[in-house]
Structure formats: C-alpha cells, structure tokens
Amino acid sequence: KQEVTQIPAALSVPEGENLVLNCSFTDSAIYNLQWFRQDPGKGLTSLLLIQSSQREQTSGRLNASLDKSSGRSTLYIAASQPGDSATYLCAVRQGYNTDKLIFGTGTRLQVFP
C-alpha cells in the first residue's frame, strides 16, 4: 500500500530564504507526482506535475525534482515571499488506470516579513 510522507510538517522562515520541502513515497511504481498548495480553508492549486520519466520541472521560483528509485521528491522555493505562506501537498498517481491521487501529509509553510 502506497504511503506518502512529507517533512517537515511545519516550517517558519524569514522572507528571502530558499526552501526545500520533502516528499517521500514507499512504492516507487508511480505514474506521476503532483505538487499543490492549499490556502487555509480553500481548494488546491496545482503547482507542478512531474511524469515518472522526468527528473525535474520548473515554474518561476519553483523547482520540483523526482528520484523515483529512491522514492523521493523535493520542492525548491527560491527567494521566499510572505505570499508563499500556505500548506504544500505532494500527491502520487499510482498507475495509468488508477486515476486517484494519494496525498502526503502536507508541509505548513509560513514566511514572515
């Protein structure tokens, strides 16, 4: 059974710092991995999607890497801003015909001015 874990559970940093959020999964046979952000009480915003054949994806100040064999993904946030404060979730899709996402436990990020 796939289990997805995120470390750290919470993080509080001053504005301008570069951050690394970690996601690990127990079954490396994944189809893809998605990173989301969730603002309090709101829905999810998709940040990046990495196919199993890819090593990384970049969007603006965000970079996500995937090491499928070791069951790990990292989300790198450069030059953090207070607007980045949110909960960040990673989710894996197990297979082509298994469309559900299995979510991690989330990292709650606070960036203070």
Partner 1 sequence: EAGVTQSPTHLIKTRGQQATLRCSPISGHTSVYWYQQALGLGLQFLLWYDEGEERNRGNFPPRFSGRQFPNYSSELNVNALELEDSALYLCASSLEFRGLYEQYFGPGTRLTVT
Count how many residues are written for the chain.
113
Q: DSSP letter string over 41-109?
A: TS-EEEEEEEETT-SEEEETTEEEEEETTTTEEEEEE-S--GGG-EEEEEEEEEETTEEEEEE---EEE
Nearer to partner 1, 23 or 80 (CB): 23
Contact 89, 36 (CB under 8 A): yes
Can you tell me which of 11, 22, 24, 44 binds partner 1, judged by CB under 8 A?
44
Minimum CB distance to partner 1 smaller for 42 or for 112: 42
List the one residue from 33, 34, 35, 86 that touches partner 1 (CB under 8 A).
34
Q: Of 60, 69, 99, 113, which one interacts with partner 1 (CB under 8 A)?
A: 99
Nearer to partner 1, 18 or 58 (CB): 58
User: Which residue type is seen at 55?
Assistant: R
Note the residues at the interface with partner 1 (CB under 8 A).
31-32, 34, 36, 41-46, 49, 51, 89, 91, 93, 98-106
